[in-house]
């Protein structure tokens, strides 16, 4: 390697068995398994080149109408399957089939950790949270365990059916919600008040399998339904929060400033628990409602939501509520920190779904390993385009940053083996007159990402020159 060759920080001082692998002044080669916003971002990124050749691509069956969304549709293409790439936005199925048998060079980056499902399967998420909660109570006391009171009472079916029945009988009349452990977009979810309402679950299915040829019943979780959600305009909503993990050991977490609140299309009522348009906020469910308007949708930006809540309840109350979301993020990631197979080549972008109750307490509903990147409209497209572009800026394959940044575009560094405090002068969303150090968390705050990036890269270039 010549002395003038530009080498990324994570390659410095290291050799490579693949001469083409080192990213110097050459283009960055990428592969992508999806046909939606991420492909637009990759294709529009200067100095990035799509790897040609043959490989199966997964079409997105939920692609929005291009005319409605305000952007051009992407023609189907194919890609090769060799290792001649620097960055791969792969799907979970491809990773499961190939991760254990492939060799990754120093420079390569790939979406998803090997066992990401430990956090994103509903039953495993709760199992890991319960375990860390018990460990915390044992080591630090019951008071510390209260910091885990952000997920509803939950049982796994069929394995915990009998424990659930005991709990059910202790609390007659309350509402429970059933969710398939490994499905998404609201599929298979229903609410019930009586045990006999679970018609698809017969007593024999909860017994040990005596017949080896008998089909194993699908795993579900059953949770106590949050009957007092915070309502706006009489409608229930949840909040999609984007979280980026670039390392589990040490744990390094970024939180994106922008997201959205998803509203149900029908006014909330406990009198109609069978109506999914009332109780489920998933866009995949709501878009089928008879009076759904695809132009208006059922979304607010997180900035709109924070402004509304602050005007109604005050800055301090909202600050406390959003701090609760930070706690949910960190505690949930810590619950799998020792379980996830850490790999410096991997990163994960999670979509957290959080619900506020009538007391503004945040509850964790679920965590998605592959949050939808298909845009439902122009605003949604702009949000996701900026989100993904800034994600690539954080990963910094171009080696333009110093590695000490606390903010990159819309991403704020929330945790790096410990909490990160905001710099002086970065006190957005803080009460007037605040001078004390505050967490480097700005969910729902102003996101002037383009201006921040210009200033960031100018400063980083000056530091590197000096």
pLDDT digits (tens, 9 = 90+) for 189-223: 888 888 887 755 544 444 444 555 545 568 889 99
The reported pLDDT for the residue numbered 397 is 94
* Long-range residue pairs from 396-401, CB within 8 A, at least 24 positions apart, any chain: 396/8, 397/8, 397/23, 397/28, 397/86, 397/87, 397/107, 397/109, 398/8, 398/23, 398/28, 398/47, 399/6, 399/7, 399/8, 399/9, 399/23, 400/457, 400/460, 400/461, 401/456, 401/457, 401/460
The reported pLDDT for the residue numbered 435 is 46
Tokens standing for residue 19: 């001469």
Question: Lowest mean pLDDT: which of 140-144, 181-185, 311-315?
Answer: 181-185
Distance CA 464, CA 381 (A): 34
- Residue 66, pLDDT > 90, answer no
- Highest-confidence segment of 73-87, 255-269, 300-314, 421-435: 300-314
Q: How far is CA 130 from CA 136, 152, 196, in A?
A: 10, 11, 28
- Residue 359, pLDDT > 90, answer yes
**Strands in 164-282 per DSSP E:** 176-180, 190-192, 220-224, 231-232, 235-248, 251-256, 260-263
Distance CA 328, CA 241 (A): 11
Distance CA 286, CA 264 (A): 7
Question: Lowest mean pLDDT: which of 65-79, 402-416, 418-432?
Answer: 65-79
The reported pLDDT for the residue numbered 207 is 45
The reported pLDDT for the residue numbered 173 is 87
The reported pLDDT for the residue numbered 10 is 31
The reported pLDDT for the residue numbered 431 is 55
Q: What is the mean pLDDT of residues 381-410?
A: 96
Distance CA 275, CA 58 (A): 32
**Which of 27, 23, 29 has the alpha carbon at shortest distance from 11?**
23
- Highest-confidence segment of 16-25, 55-64, 172-181: 172-181
Residue spans of alpha helices (H) in 194-267: none
**pLDDT band with cut points at 50, 70 and 90 for residue 9:** very low
Mean pLDDT of the chain: 83
């Amino acid at each position: 390697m010549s002395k003038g060759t530009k080498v990324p920080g994570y390659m410095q001082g290291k050799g490579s068995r693949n001469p083409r692998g080192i990213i110097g002044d050459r283009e960055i080669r990428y592969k992508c398994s999806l046909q939606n916003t991420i492909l637009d971002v990759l294709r529009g990124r200067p100095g990035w080149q799509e790897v040609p050749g043959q490989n199966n691509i997964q079409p997105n069956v939920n692609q929005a109408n291009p005319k409605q969304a305000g952007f051009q549709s992407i023609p189907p293409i194919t890609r090769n399957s060799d290792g001649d790439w620097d960055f791969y936005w792969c799907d979970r199925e491809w990773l499961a089939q190939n991760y254990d048998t492939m060799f990754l060079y120093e420079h390569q980056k790939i979406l998803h950790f090997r066992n990401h499902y430990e956090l994103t399967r509903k039953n495993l998420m709760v199992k890991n949270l319960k375990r860390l909660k018990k460990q915390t109570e044992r080591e630090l006391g019951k008071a510390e365990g209260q910091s885990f009171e952000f997920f509803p009472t939950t049982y796994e079916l069929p394995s915990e059916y009998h424990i659930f029945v005991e709990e059910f009988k202790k609390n007659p009349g309350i509402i429970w919600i059933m969710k398939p452990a490994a499905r998404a977009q609201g599929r298979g979810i229903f609410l019930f008040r009586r045990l006999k309402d679970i018609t698809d679950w017969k007593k024999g299915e909860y017994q040990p399998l005596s017949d080896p040829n008998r089909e194993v019943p699908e795993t579900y979780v059953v949770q106590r339904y949050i009957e007092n959600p915070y309502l706006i305009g009489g409608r229930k909503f949840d909040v999609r929060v984007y979280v980026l993990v670039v390392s589990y050991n040490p744990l390094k977490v970024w939180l994106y400033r922008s997201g959205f609140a998803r509203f149900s299309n029908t006014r909330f009522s406990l009198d109609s628990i069978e109506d999914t348009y009332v109780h489920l906020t998933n866009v995949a469910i709501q878009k089928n409602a008879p009076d759904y308007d695809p132009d208006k949708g059922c979304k607010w930006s997180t900035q709109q939501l924070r402004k509304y809540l602050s005007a109604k309840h005050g800055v301090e109350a909202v600050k406390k509520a959003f701090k609760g979301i930070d706690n949910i993020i960190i505690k949930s990631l810590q619950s799998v920190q020792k379980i996830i197979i850490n790999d410096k080549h991997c990163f994960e972008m999670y979509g957290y779904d959080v619900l506020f109750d009538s007391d503004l307490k945040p509850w964790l509903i679920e965590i998605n390993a592959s949050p939808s990147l298909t845009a439902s409209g122009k605003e949604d497209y702009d949000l996701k385009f900026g989100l993904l572009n800034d994600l690539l800026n954080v990963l910094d394959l171009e080696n333009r940053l110093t590695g000490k940044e606390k903010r990159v575009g819309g991403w704020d560094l929330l945790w790096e083996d410990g909490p990160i405090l905001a710099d002086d002068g970065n006190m957005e969303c803080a009460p007037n007159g605040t001078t004390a150090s505050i967490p480097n968390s700005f969910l729902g705050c102003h996101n002037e990402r383009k201006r921040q990036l210009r200033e960031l890269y100018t400063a980083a270039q000056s530091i590197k020159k000096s």
